[in-house]
Structures are given as C-alpha cells and as structure tokens.
Structure 1
Amino acid sequence: MLTLTGWDWGLGNMTYGPLWRRHRRLFHQYFNQHAVTAYKQDLEEASHKLLQRLLLQPEKFVYHLRYMLGAEFLSAVYGIHDAEEIDQYLAIAEKAIQGAEEALIPGSFLVDFLPTLKYVPAWMPGALFKRKAAEWKRNAMAMRNVPWQNVSAALDSHKPCIGASMLERISHLIGSEHAGEEEVAKNVAGTTYAAGSDTTYATLHIFFLAMVLYPDVQKRAQDEIAAVVGDDRLPNFSDYDKLMYLKAIWMECIRWQPAVPLGLAHKTLADDEYNGFRIPGRAIVMHNTWAILQDPKVYSEPKTFNPERFLRDGAWNLEVMDPAVIAFGAGRRICPGRYFAELSVFINAARILHTFDIMPALDAEGKQIKVEPDMTSGFVIHPKPFQCSIKPRSKAAESLIRGGNSDN
C-alpha cells in the first residue's frame, strides 16, 4: 500500500467501472451545487430543532449533533420525519456505519495482503474477519433496505426526498430493468445517508472543539453574524454570501482536522510513477489528506485554527488553496455530497453562534477544565470526549430558540 503526501500526485490509472459510473451520475444529479438548494428549508427546520435540544440539554451536545444530522439526512434521502421511525433507523444505521468505518481502513486485516484467505471457512482460527464481514453485511443491508421501505409512501404522498425522486425517474421501467435500477437507487440512498451523516456530524463536532479552544474566532464570527442578521431573527441561507468569516471557519474546520484523514482507497489499473517512485498495477494507493492539509508550505502554522488565512482585505485570499479540493477526495471520486455538507454545517454553525456562547466548562472549584485538540483514529475521526459550557447569549436569543421569528 502506498500513501501519497504530496499535492501533485499523478494518478492516471484508477479503477472506474460502468456500475460505479451509474451510481455516480445519480449522486451528482441529486447533490450537485444547484440541486442541493432544494433542501435549504429542511436544513433550516432541522437546525432550529437542534438549537432547541441544545437549550434543554446542552451537556448532551454530542448526542444532539449526531441525532439531528442523522434525522436531517433521513428526511432528505427517505422522506422520514416521524420521531419514532427516526430512532429506529438511526439505531440500524449506527451499527452499519461502525462496521463500515472499520472495514474501510486498508490493511486492517491480513486478507488485505493475502487475498487467498477469503476462501478459508469462517469457523477456522484466524478467520475472525469473515465473521465480522458477515455481520457488517447484515447491518449494511438493513441500513440500505429498511428505510427504503418508506420511499414508496413518500412518493405517493408527494413528500419531496431523493429516494422518491429516484423512484419516479424509473417509474416507466418494468420487470428486471426496473428491479436493477431500483437496486442502484437503494445503493445511492444508503451510501448518501451513511457517508454524509457521519462525516458532517464529525465536522460539526470539530467546530465545537475549535470554538472552545479559540474564543477570539468565535467572537469575531458572532460579531459578523450580528452585523448581518441583527437580533430579531435567526440566520438563514439568504445571509450565506454575506457571512464570509463564517464560511472561512467552515474551510478551516475541514483543513485543521479533516474528518476522513486518508480519504478513500484507490487501486491502479496499470503501472504508474510518482516523483520517481514506481507504483505497480493493482496497488492500493491512498492520498494522505491530513498530510496535505497540514503542509506548512501550503498553510502557515498548520496546527493553529486560523480562518483568517483564507481572507485578505475583506475578500477571499486566492493564493491559499481551498481545502475542499482535498478534504472531499480527489479526481473523479471527489465526494458528490460536499455541497450538501457545506450548507448543513453553515446553517447549523451560524445559528449556534448567533444564539449560544460555547465556552470551557468549569470544575467544582470554578476553574476551567482544560480541553486538548485530541482526535480519535480511524477511517472517520472525531474529537475525543470533552466538556464545554453552552449557554444562550441573551434573553432575545433564547426567545428565538424557543420559537420566535426564526427565518424572517
């Protein structure tokens, strides 16, 4: 396995089969830069519910982030809004995502290097990977199939969601042709939910960590939001182009601690070469997202959370590389859900900062509990557990959270 840490990797021979192209066309159809605008109202409603949960139980902010991001994607993908159904599907998805994150780390199991081991019986000593794979498959199939049962009802009731749109697109097909296209649609929906909800949750979790560690950044963002929005409403997507510093915070979140630090594995189809190194055909190749985004030649003082690096004289600093071109993958396999993720993080971060102060928690003696920028390891990374204080900024802010004039 080869890990590439340079910006100018030359990978011209990647696996790119016809089935993947069919899936990818659907991803881009429903998540391109223009298509995601259809989800703005749902995102605003979900963000308001998150504010209300944070107000009632701020100490459970991590749980609220995961729950609301999961519910957000269930709504957009499957048209699921019922709280009881959301709880059921989130429990199913949690198991599947945990398995996927373990399985997607190349080299985790000996079979990655000795493919013939895939033929040994599952009961043999050393074949734990086969028993794990069987369980992961059951969980993944449940995540793909169970929520899909809701899509036909969403289509019949004219509830807008990606699954219903895909079903409508193939409604003219019959027999095996319809069944085959529905399988592709199921895969797209399941992948969208699994990949999008967990990575977006991780980025918002990283955002909370950054706000605790860098109060000056938080204060500047709050001042910008107040100047644009005022104090009688919540931020909405009409403010998007005016909140440049907040968008810079989003860019710095995905640079400072990219949720998927090694990206997805690729495999070369033929021999290739990179900086004088021969890459044999069929080699697993990783582009080291974390190393690229922490390169001091590209980003000065890379370990410091500094959104201002992306701004100059009130405009974007075009001399600094946009981390999104790396953080969401590279080349033909760049994440098609990146625009949806940006909208989700933007509206949640804007409304959280407008209504809450995120500060270090205090111990029994009134001293600040120290927080470190420590992250878990794995395919998707998250901040290790930390405590913080989340309090409404004012009575007016609390009124907005409880249901005042939220969007106008």
Structure 2
Amino acid sequence: MAYSLTTWLAVLSFLWLLSKVARKPRHPPYPPSPKTPWPIIGNALHVPRLRPWLTYRTWGKENDNKIFHLEALGQHIIVLNDIDDAIELMEKRSSLYSDRPHMPLLSLMGMDINAGLLPYGDVWRQHRKVYQQGFRKEIVGSYHPIINEKCTKFLQRMMAQPEGLKEHSEFYTASIILSIVYGHEFDSSDDPILVTTKRAIELSSPEFVSGSLLINSFPVLLNIPKWLPGGGFHDVAAESRKALHDMVEMPYEVVMSRMQSGDNKPSLLQDLLEKQRAKGTYDISVLKNVAGIAFAAGVETTETTLESLFLALAMYPEVQKKARAEILRVIGTTRLPAFEDRPALPYIEALCREVHRWRPAVPAGVPHATTHDDIYQGYFIPKGSLIFFNTWGMTQNQDIYPEPEVFKPERFLDADGSLNDDDRHVVFGFGRRLCPGRHLAIDVIWLTAARIIAAFELSNPRDPVTGQSIDLDVHQYTGDLFSHPPRYVCTIKPTGVAALLRSDVI
C-alpha cells in the first residue's frame, strides 16, 4: 500500500510527540526558546539565514532574555546576547566552551586548514602556538615600519584617485599582510597571489556558518552524487579546495624560491621556517596553513573595519572635526601622525574603539561548541551545542552604550578627556579562541584613522544638480559572516597637511 508524504509526516509527528511525553527529563530545562519548535525538525525553519545578529537581538528584547536556546534537526544552539554571559562561559569556563562545531562540509571544502575552525585539541594548539610567535603584541611593533610605508602609499592613491576608495582599501590591507607574512610586494590588483586569495575567500565564506544546516546535520548527504538534484555542492566544494590549496602553496613557493637563491627578504614565514629548522622540528603544513589563513582572515576583517571607519567619518563631520583638532594641537602641520604619537591622542584611540563597536566586522561571531554537558543559571547546555555570541547584541546594548546607533567616541572617554577602562574588543572573540591577529588589526586601524583624518576631510556626497548633501545608507550591511557596508561614494577633500604626501616629510 502506498502512503503519501503527508501521511508519513503525520505518523512521524505522532511518534515524536509520544516519545516526548514518555521521556522523563533527566536534566534541568534548556534556556528559553524564542520560537515554539516543530515536531521532528525543531527550530530548523526559525534559524535566521540573513543577518542573524539582528534577529537574535530582536528575540532577546522581545522575550527579555539574554540567553536562549534553539534546536534544529537535533542540533542544540545557544545564543548569548550579553557580554557577561560570554565572559563567564567562554573565558571562565573555557575548558568546556573552546571547541568548534563539527561541520563535515568544511573538510570537503578544504577549510580544515583554518586554525580558527579546527576542533579544540593538539592540532589546534600547534597552529595557535605558531600564530602567537608571529602576532603577539610585542612582535607586532616590529611590523610598524611596514604599516607606516603602506599607509603612506594608500593616502597617496586616495589623493590621486579619491573615487577609488574601496579598491584602494582592499589593495592597502592586502599589501600590508602580504608583506609581513610573505615579504611579497606587488604593484597591481592583478597580482596572481592576490587574485587567488580573493577567489579562495569568496568560495569558502560564509555559508559554512549560517547555512548548510541539513548537510552538516546529516553527513550521509555528502554521498549524494553531484549529478542528482541537490548534489551541486560537490562542484563548489571542489573549486573551493583548489583555490584554498593554491592560496597556501603559491606564496610558500615564492618564499622557498627566494630562500634557495639567497635572495632573502624578511617575512614571517621565512622566520618561522628558519626557527623550526634550527630546532629540528619541521612541520611545513602547519606553517603554510598559518601563513595562508593569517593573510586571508586579516585582509577580510581589516578591510571591512576600514570601510566602516570611512563611512562613519563621512556621516559624522563633528567627530572628524574634533579628531583633527586633537591632531593639530598635538602634532601640528609639519608631519603626519606616527605610532609614537599614540599616547598623546586619546580621542583618536576612542574613535577607533567606537569603529569596532559601532559596526563589528563579524557581528554574529564565529560559533564555539561545548565539549561536555554544563549547567548555567539553572539551564542545561548539552555537549556538542553551538554557542553563538551575538557580537552585535553586545556592542549595541543600550544599557551599556546609550544611543548605540550613534557614532560617539566620547563614550570611551572620561570627563577629563582621558581614555576610560572600556578597552575590551569583543569583536575579536573570547577565551582561547580570541583572534590571534587582533594586535596587528588594531594598530593598522589606528594609524590609518589618524593619518586619514589629518590629511583629508571626508563628507557625504553632494547632488550634482542641487549641491545638497546626500545622506549615506548605513543600514544595508551585507548578511555574510564578514558584514560589509553598502558600496558608497563620499566626498574626499585634501587638507593642507595632505601636501606632505607629495614630499618626503611624513
């Protein structure tokens, strides 16, 4: 006898309800759910696909919950909207909350080279140790000459072609990190290493976080032939694997070729290779992976933050005016700001903190996973749960940051104009999964902000007919893992200090 799909669903739903009634709870309740789960599939249809950070924040406000629970196809999801909960779980209980979700699709895509996505364990520790060798705070200071040089060239490109701000920003961030990591210099956006890396980033992000729930919940679906409906992911995964392989191998071969020919140029990868050779340990794959992902992740996050910086400066001329006044008072007009000036420029520092808060580059965070069952505030959090820390919800918390939509550096200053103690950058994550490249990113953003404010005046575009200012749209950020602002054109006018860019005095 043939049964319809509706009949089978009805039977399965009845059995599911029967099992729920018969099952005696053996643990405390889960955190409250913002939506009533469906039989069998749970909250699978409720999990937001587009800009999840906005939905998570709305759910938290509507239900007056800072922590809530979803269950989708058997996968438990815990969302944290409050920074105190994130600190308690992912830092104070880091031994339980430092894993990453098991997503079989990642390996198929070649993303298992990314230390940020590796499961908590010895392989991850190997990668993390290498990252710390190259990007701890005291080491990043040695990269300041490179940042200084690239920043000057970036400003010169802006002055020559102000309408190409986005392209200049992409080129700028890539040139810094390629120079630091590989000692690789390039003059064109057609550079093969740059093109390959950009393609790898496009193919490998961000679907593994916000989508592919069905495949990751039922790995058997990976066996679907690519010629069957639904099997098209095989082609995308194959292209991603090749692009990621090339992204890692191409610059490594460049460094090795230079080393073998004696034409050495200082770079992080060469330094790591020489240190491992001296110690007699030589795990090339770890070094190649660390270098490749440091470049890819660093370019994407830093570029996104710069885009938000320029947007904020154009939208808030009064902020820009205060910042420029501080620079003129401390430095004058005979040179551009330098890292040595940083302690004397608290408003610029507060402005940079506000950029990270106002529009975090990764607003939904990268999910953690639990290695064991846990109980928190009387709620049960099972082993294997996905833990999302909603960065957006934390940085837009109006109880901590009144009028959170407003770009206001003063919120990081005391009454006397000195920096307050709110120096925690939640945008870089928590606990043992804290972004290892954060010190480099913070330094790049600071020098860029200080110099661009000194050399240029950014403002909203103007209507070519009426001459009236056109407000920029700040709300249509992309819904990806790395959330970019909408493409915008702002008016860029050189100040008197910009003349220094044509001379050797910087």
TM-score w.r.t. length of structure 2: 0.75
The code of the aligned residue for 1:231 comes to T
Out of 145, 165, 180, the position equivalent to 1:41 is: 145
Out of 422, 425, 434, the position equivalent to 1:334 is: 434
Is 1:74–2:178 an aligned residue pair?
yes
The code of the aligned residue for 2:80 comes to L
How far 1:85 moved relative to its partner?
Answer: 8.7
Q: Tell me the SS of whatever aligns to 2:492.
A: strand
CA gap 1:82/1:60 in 2 versus in 1, 3 angstroms = closer
The CA distance in 1 between the partners of 2:379 and 2:223, in whole Å, is 33
> What is the aligned partner in structure 1 of residue 50 from structure 2?
none
> What is the aligned partner in structure 1 of residue 232 from structure 2?
128
Is 1:234–2:336 an aligned residue pair?
yes
The CA distance in 2 between the partners of 1:343 and 1:86, in whole Å, is 27
The CA distance in 2 between the partners of 1:104 and 1:173, in whole Å, is 37
Q: Which runs of 5+ in 2 are unaligned?
A: 1-76, 100-119
Is 1:363–2:473 an aligned residue pair?
no
How far 1:101 moved relative to its partner?
Answer: 2.0
Alignment of 1:2-401 (within 5 A): 2-7=78-83, 8-9=85-86, 10-11=89-90, 12=93, 13=96, 14-15=98-99, 16-83=120-187, 87-155=191-259, 156-172=262-278, 178=282, 181-312=283-414, 313-318=416-421, 321-324=422-425, 326-365=426-465, 366-374=467-475, 375-394=477-496, 397-401=497-501
Aligned length: 397
CA gap 1:307/1:233 in 2 versus in 1, 3 angstroms = same
The CA distance in 2 between the partners of 1:158 and 1:85, in whole Å, is 24
TM-score w.r.t. length of structure 1: 0.93
CA gap 1:154/1:309 in 2 versus in 1, 3 angstroms = farther
Q: Which moved more, 1:298-307 or 1:47-56?
A: 298-307
Tell me if structure 2 keeps the 8 A contact 1:254–1:323. no
How far 1:323 moved relative to its partner?
Answer: 4.2
Tell me if structure 1 keeps the 8 A contact 2:206–2:482. no
Tell me if structure 2 keeps the 8 A contact 1:3–1:288. yes
Q: Tell me the SS of whatever aligns to 2:79.
A: strand
Q: Tell me the SS of whatever aligns to 2:191.
A: helix
Q: Which runs of 5+ in 1 are unaligned?
A: none
Q: Which moved more, 1:358-367 or 1:68-77?
A: 358-367
How far 1:109 moved relative to its partner?
Answer: 4.3
Q: Tell me the SS of whatever aligns to 1:372.
A: coil
The code of the aligned residue for 2:165 comes to F
Q: Tell me the SS of whatever aligns to 1:122.
A: coil
Tell me if structure 2 keeps the 8 A contact 1:89–1:147. yes
The CA distance in 2 between the partners of 1:49 and 1:123, in whole Å, is 49
The code of the aligned residue for 1:367 comes to Q
**Which one has the largest radius of gyration?**
2
**1:14-52 Cα distance to aligned partner (Å, 9 max, x none):** 322101101101111111110000100000000000011
How far 1:297 moved relative to its partner?
Answer: 1.8
How far 1:172 moved relative to its partner?
Answer: 3.7
**1:255-299 Cα distance to aligned partner (Å, 9 max, x none):** 111001122121111112333332221122211111111111221
The CA distance in 1 between the partners of 2:190 and 2:333, in whole Å, is 33
Tell me if structure 1 keeps the 8 A contact 2:171–2:189. no
The CA distance in 2 between the partners of 1:77 and 1:86, in whole Å, is 19
Higher RCO (Cα < 8 Å, 6 or more apart): 1
The CA distance in 1 between the partners of 2:296 and 2:284, in whole Å, is 18
Tell me if structure 2 keeps the 8 A contact 1:31–1:337. yes
Aligned-residue identity in percent: 36
Tell me if structure 2 keeps the 8 A contact 1:369–1:387. no
> What is the aligned partner in structure 1 of residue 504 from structure 2?
404
The CA distance in 1 between the partners of 2:145 and 2:190, in whole Å, is 19
The code of the aligned residue for 1:371 comes to L
How far 1:157 moved relative to its partner?
Answer: 3.0
